[in-house]
Structure 1
Amino acid sequence: MNNVDLKQIKAVAFDIDGTLYRAWKFNLRIAPYFLFHSFFFLKYGLVRNIMHRTEPTPEFVKLQASHMAKKLKCSPEEAEQRLEKIIYKGLEKYFVNLKPCKGALEFIHKLKDNGYKLGLLSDFPPEQKGDIWGVRDLCDVVLGSEEAGALKPDPTPFLRLAKEFNLPPEQILYVGNHHKYDILGAHNAGMKTAWLILPHCGWIGKKSKIADLTFWHYNQLSDWFFGSE
């Protein structure tokens, strides 16, 4: 694994959205819902861009609602209620029966069987996705970055993850699909990183100068850890 001593890795943590499942599959599912709430999603996207650049705060939920209220020209209380209804609760049903990336669950189970600690760190509440194909019950740490008061790539949620693992960051491999938020954020927090890209990007040789590993199929990640069988 690209200049990484696997003996140093004691835990592997995963982003969820776009990492344990392909984002394009989810986007196809929610297309009608997105179009119906297109104005709200547009404003929400602008607010999340602000929150990605905001300093950590224990008042994350209220601050996000405050920004949303300005965009929607409503009260913060109404904005918070609409966020809960449309984003947090409204999207839950679209995760039901969503298929994970091929090989992802097998790799995670193999990690567990070989004594690695497991974790999830997402910018959205992990509970929104239910049991996450049983992965949630296998994890030592499950964390939504909003709980930590800051979205990725801020180092705060990554350092909170390391603290809950009771491990130094350099002993954790973080797996994600978003280069700026997942890979750069985890790298800057001192973690090792594995970047999941789309297959066609892998076929043309796309690489990251920051990630310790670039892959497009979980079998590749498994082979780097355990060797091909």
Structure 2
Amino acid sequence: MLDGITAIAFDIDGTLYSSPEFYLRIIPHFLKNFLFYIKYNKIRNVLHHTAPLPDFYEYQARLFAELTGSSVEDAKKKIQSVVYDGLETYFKKIKPFKYVEETFRRIKAAGYKIAILSDFPPEQKGDIWGLAPYCDVILGSEQCGALKPSVFPFGILAKQLGVKKEQILYVGNSRKYDVLGAKNAGMMSAYIMPLWRRIFHCPLKEADINFSNYRQFAEIVIE
């Protein structure tokens, strides 16, 4: 067991499943909505650096409306249709990384609380490939009003888990949003290394834990 850690929280996208595999699957969808995604990514970049908002979805729609010259209501409908509803079906065809369910089961049995904190709505992934029943908290940063790496959603996560921030290990695949976001919030961090880092034995120095697969991760946290 990790000293002082009582809860382990996970990002979803690129952390629990392969991002490259997902991107390959959505190529037709992306090409069909190419201009939309160019503009949408611009506003998401702004939102990653925005203070906590009382209504994230309203502000997101306002940014998109200003960029595209549409009404706020039309912007909301477009984002809902293309991003939230439009991508949902693709997640049904994606499988999680090997050993993920086994790892959730083992760390739950070891006495850890388990949580999910994702920048996109977790419900977009249904029961998160059978992982939802293991979770004590499932949280989307959008509903918190601020995207990672803001410390705000990490703070809400700790509050909902009922533990101190320094008692949480946050697991992710992004240096900026997951590792540094969690560290700045006072949490420990674990980083799932991409293939190139594994090949060249190049762990991420800012992360407290680097791992290559989820069976290895389970051994690290349970030993």
Cα deviations by residue, 1:162-211 (Å, 9 ceiling, x for unpaired): 00011001111000001100111001000010011213312212122221
Deviations 1:27-49 (A, max 9, x none): 01101100000000111100000
Contact 2:149 2:177 in 1 (8 A): yes
Alignment counterpart, residue 83 of structure 2, candidates 80, 87, 98? 87
Q: What is the Cα-based RMSD across aligned positions, in Å?
A: 1.1
- Taking the aligned partners of 1:111 and 1:171, their CA distance within structure 2 comes to 15
8 A contact 2:101–2:131 mirrored in 1: yes
Q: Is the 8 A contact 1:199 1:217 kept in 2?
A: no
Structure 1 CA distance, aligned partners of 2:208 and 2:123?
A: 29
Superposed, which structure 2 residues align to 1:166-177 within 5 Å?
166-177=162-173
One-letter amino acid of the counterpart of residue 195, structure 2: P
Aligned to 2:118: 122
1:199 and 1:226 map into 2 onto residues whose CA distance is: 24
State, as a whole percentage, how many aligned pairs show the same letter: 47
Distance in 2, Cα, partners of 1:114 & 1:79: 46
Q: Are residues 1:99 and 2:95 paired?
A: yes
Give the alignment's TM-score, normalised by structure 1. Answer: 0.95
Task: Extract unaligned runs of 5+ from structure 1.
Answer: none
Partner in structure 2 of residue 192 of structure 1: 188
- The Cα of 1:59 is off from its aligned counterpart by 1.7
- Unmatched tracts of structure 2, length 5 or more: none
Give me the whole-angstrom Cα distance separating, in 2, the residues matched to 1:206 and 1:31. 30
* Counterpart amino acid of residue 76 in structure 1: V
In the superposition, the TM-score normalised over structure 2's length comes to 0.97
2:58 — aligned with what? 62
CA shift, 1:215, in A, is: 1.4
8 Å contact from structure 1 (residues 173, 194) kept in 2 = yes
Whether the 8 Å CA contact 1:12–1:173 is kept in 2: the answer is: yes
Amino acid at match of 1:218: Y
Conservation of the 8 A alpha-carbon contact between 2:166 and 2:187: yes
* Contact 2:172/2:190 (8 A) holds in 1: yes
- Determine the structure 1 residue equivalent to 2:141: 145
Counterpart CA distance in 1 for 2:68 and 2:212 is: 39
Q: Deviations over 1:37-96 (max 9, x none)?
A: 000011110000000011111121111101101222101110001001110011000000
Alpha-carbon distance between aligned partners in 1 of 2:198 and 2:165, rounded to the nearest angstrom? 27
The corresponding residue for 2:35 is: 39
